[in-house]
Amino acid sequence: MNRVPPVVFHVDLDAFYASVEVLDDPSLAGRPVIVGALPGHRGVVSACSYEARKFGVHSAMPISQAHRRCPQAVFLPVRMERYLEVSRSVMAILERFTPHLQQISVDEAFLDMTGTERLFGPPLATGARLKEEVRREAGLAITVGIGPNKFVAKMVTNAAKPDGLREVTAEGIDGFLENLKLKDLWGVGAKTLERLSELAIGTMAQLRALSEPELAGLLGKGAAAFLYRASHGIDPGIFGEEPQSRSLSAETTFETDRKDRSSVERALLELCHQVAFRMLDEGWQSKTAVLKLRFHDFTTTTAQKTIGHWITSTEELYAVTRALLAARWDGGTPVRLIGAGCSGLERVGERGQLELFVDGMERRRKVEEAVLGIRRRMGDGTVTKASLLDGKERKG
């Protein structure tokens, strides 16, 4: 019996935060939009429109620098609850096409579309239909990258942005990779590019010509294993597989490796916020917090901690994962990726728990439930948790 070749879609909501702002205020269309903080306040760019990117603005850039580069931009605060609301509507559309959906962040997901051709037609036709339904129902543009594994699909998406659709089959992987620049090899950061340049490896062809043992002699086993697989279109496992126990997580890969603790912790807080509100909205509960870290040399570590009661709020999830971060990160090793999540999920009410919560955490959960309720009724993103605003904004 012939084995059905794997087909993976990677879906990315283009410039998501900024696109939602334009969706809610059409007068912003065509203008540079920067989401993160207001000029004169501490903070970094969380997202920006493609119009702002033309001025060299990018995520994680300090707001002060973004303002210098593009003073005519519209600067807006983060409205995480609104973005989560829109994300949920888009993910619901994606789930119509396959039950095998892995959401990896508020604006990205993988869809295992293997064997669905008889239902929806060829992959490119399915991708076009998916894009049309998201645009019609959610009002947003998405890019769809199609490949034989997650890693290739992700790189195809990056090559097709914005508002793109592209497929690379198993037979086309070599041609696709040979036309990429080293900087476009997903997961490769500035430190690795510098080291490759020092070794006179400046093209994909030069990198692909080296065996894994040769790379290990130059870069170490961890980097060699990743680079060899990535440069040959073999999924290095950067996105992982769905765990056996039910889990929910979010992660982000930094455009440049980070060593600044406050910046890394801020990213962790935002991820915890995404996870906590998704759990609340979808009716899950968990006692186990999970942290994922990937460093500049491609080594990856995960840690988890199970506490004695249900995790009840963003603050509690953040407190646990922040402690895990302190235990697993020395503060000096550059961080490439960070993720947060909860595992061992159970449906709320599956067990008859009447627990006493410590440190006021249950009160915080009630606050988040109230925020979610207001968001559902008002739908305008006016309610945002103060913990996701920078210190000066809270004082003002």
Terminal CA-to-CA distance of the chain, rounded, Å? 67
Look at residues 91, 87, 89 and name the one whose alpha carbon lies nearest to residue 99.
91
Higher pLDDT, 157 or 386: 157
**Domains, the chain, ordered by start:** 8-13+81-173 (3.30.70.270), 16-80 (3.40.1170.60), 188-231 (no CATH), 247-395 (3.30.1490.100)
Instruction: Pick the catalytic residue from 51, 108, 315, 368.
Output: 108
Rounded Cα distance, 383 and 372, in Å: 9
Q: Nearest Cα to 273, choosing from 80, 44, 16, 46?
A: 80
User: What's the Cα-to-Cα distance from 338 to each of 105, 307, 322, 384, rounded to whole Å?
Assistant: 11, 21, 11, 23
- So what's the pLDDT on residue 392? 36
Whole-number Å distance between alpha carbons of 29 and 74 = 11
- Which one has a higher pLDDT value, 380 or 206? 206
pLDDT tens digit string along 79-134?
888 998 899 999 999 999 998 898 888 899 999 999 999 899 999 999 999 999 99
pLDDT tens column, 298-325: 888 899 999 888 888 888 999 999 999 9
Q: Can you give the length of the chain in residues?
A: 396
One DSSP character per residue, 255-289 reads EEEE--HHHHHHHHHHHHHHHHHHHHHHTEE-SEE
* 246 — pLDDT class (breaks 50, 70, 90): confident
Give the tens place of pLDDT for each residue, 263-297.
Answer: 899 889 989 988 888 888 778 889 999 999 988 88
User: pLDDT digit string (tens) for 212-241?
Assistant: 999 999 988 888 998 999 999 999 876 665
| More confident site: 385 or 198 | 198
Alpha helices in 220-260 (DSSP H): 221-231
**Under 8 Å CB-to-CB from 176, ≥6 apart: which residues?**
152, 155, 156, 159, 168, 233
Check: pTM over 0.75? Answer yes or no. no
Q: What pLDDT sits at residue 43?
A: 78
pLDDT at 167 over 50: yes
Per-range mean pLDDT, top range of 57-61, 128-132, 193-197, 369-373? 128-132
Average pLDDT, the chain: 85
Contact yes or no for 326/335 (Cβ under 8 A): no
Contacts for 162 with CB less than 8 Å, ≥ 6 apart:
14, 15, 50, 141, 143
| 108 carries an active-site annotation | yes
% the chain with pLDDT above 90: 52
Residue 305's beta-bridge partner residues?
A: 289
Q: What's the average model confidence in pLDDT over 365-382?
A: 49
CA-wise closest residue to 300 among 387, 395, 225: 225
Both tokens of 238, joined, read 């950067």
Phi, psi of 14, rounded to the nearest 5 degrees: -60, 130
* Cα(229)–Cα(173) distance, integer angstroms: 12
